[in-house]
Amino acid sequence: MTLPTEGPSGSLRRLEAEPDPRLAPFSTRDLALELRQRLRAPELALHVGDLADQLGVLGIEIEQRTEASSNRLSRTRPAACAAMIAGHVESGECKLDGATVLELGCGSIHPLGTLMVHVLCGARLAVGVDLDPPQDPQTATRALLRLALAMLAAPEHLAPWARRTRQQVLAALDGFDLPKLWLGDPAGIDGSRLRLIHGSAERLPMAQGEVDYCSSVSFLEHVPDVDAVLDEMARVMRSGGIAVHSIDGIDHATYGDASHGPLDFLREPAHLQLVFGCTRLRPSEFVARFERAGFEVLAFEEHRRVEVDDRMRMGFAEPWRSMPKQTLEVVQGCIRARRR
Ligand SMILES: C[S@@+](CC[C@H](N)C(=O)[O-])C[C@H]1O[C@@H](n2cnc3c(N)ncnc32)[C@H](O)[C@@H]1O
């Protein structure tokens, strides 16, 4: 066995040093990408000076500082997405214990994060569906273990609404192979409890009425045939089951270019089926579609509104130019519905 060699002591303080002005022109993003590249280099010499300690501190600081809902690999985001069901559980309208839950368009970065929280909160089976395969299965699997350990340490902090004890979380982890998850091996996931389906939400490999709770985040606005997806969701959900779907109706070009207006894509002609991957259905327009598919809409929550003046509206193509201001102004929202 090789004992760790002792590095120079007192070196952590160096992180408090003055910023290097030569690096000032580079954005944090550029520096993060550069650092990731360097960390991957096979010749990385961690034994040189205090590099290992400095990176160790940085790792912990990054982990703390990036606990945000915009970070898909954080613990905060899956916990927040899992909490979309919280009000329904707390009111007794929906029970997670023993439930079958489904997430549509669960993404390719951390596809099973939200569903893992549901499993640890008592779901019997949690299934995620996405067209895209995971981009980095090893990282996503490690993030899953980190999330599970955080849930084990403090379920009352990450999912207070679920009222789970540490013993219950530990019991829910029973079928997972934690050493495999540690290595980033997806085979460590208990497939009888937590499953990722690589396919379309238009054809779900699930039985009629099997699902108690179905959710999605920033998914429905990307689906060209949204009625087909809602019909399929209605098929697999049991009567009384709860559906919660958050919809992002902002022009997705703004996420890469802040100078782009949140509704600029409404200027493009209506015959374009997708613009920057979005159908441009306005969030509140989904309400009628849910009703038509066999759901009773319990609430439409507005999450973000932008002001639309007449000049802006005149720049839109039809049908948006003639839409009520109220419909146009609500750009993000969440639909809560019950399967009839
Ligand atoms: C904007 S991403 C959101 C991902 C994830 N929910 C999140 O919040 O990070 C939309 C996702 O929907 C998926 N998607 C689009 N159409 C789909 C379909 N018909 N069936 C399943 N997934 C689909 C895409 O592959 C993509 O991962």
Q: Which atom of ligand 1 is nearest to the CA of 217?
A: 6
> pLDDT by residue (tens digit) across 85-118?
999 999 999 999 999 999 999 999 999 999 999 9
Hey, which of 71, 108, 219, 231 would you mutate to test ligand 1's pocket, going by the most ligand atoms within 8 Å of its Cβ? 219
- Ligand 1 centroid–CA 53 distance in Å is 39
Q: Which long-range contacts (CB under 8 A, 24 or more apart) does 254-262 make?
A: 262/306, 262/331
pLDDT value, residue 49: 87
What average pLDDT does the segment 178-194 reach? Answer: 98
pLDDT value, residue 34: 96
CA distances from 9 to 5, 12, 18, 49, 293 (A): 12, 8, 20, 10, 66
pLDDT value, residue 2: 58
Whether 107 is in the pocket of ligand 1, judged by its Cβ within 6 Å, is yes
More confident residue, 39 or 259: 39
Residue with tokens 């019991």: 171
pLDDT at 11 over 80: no
What average pLDDT does the segment 18-33 reach? Answer: 92
The number of angstroms, rounded, from the C-alpha of 58 to the middle of its chain's C-alpha atoms is 25
Q: Is-contact 155 205, C-beta < 8 A?
A: no
Backbone angles phi, psi at 164, to 5 degrees: -95, 145
pLDDT at 303 over 60: yes
pLDDT value, residue 20: 87
What average pLDDT does the segment 295-318 reach? Answer: 96
Q: Is-contact 339 238, C-beta < 8 A?
A: yes
pLDDT value, residue 259: 87
Residue with tokens 């980095």: 136
pLDDT at 12 over 90: no
Sequence-ordered list of residues with C-beta below 8 angstroms from that of 75, at least 6 positions apart, any chain: 67, 146, 147, 150, 158
pLDDT value, residue 92: 93
What average pLDDT does the segment 331-340 reach? Answer: 98
CA separation for the pair 136, 31 (Å, rounded): 21
Residue with tokens 């009703």: 291
Domains, the chain: 11-65 (no CATH), 76-339 (3.40.50.150)
What average pLDDT does the segment 11-24 reach? Answer: 75
- Ligand 1 centroid–CA 223 distance in Å is 8
> pLDDT by residue (tens digit) across 216-246?
999 999 999 999 999 999 999 999 999 999 9
Whether 100 is in the pocket of ligand 1, judged by its Cβ within 6 Å, is no
- Ligand 1 centroid–CA 219 distance in Å is 5
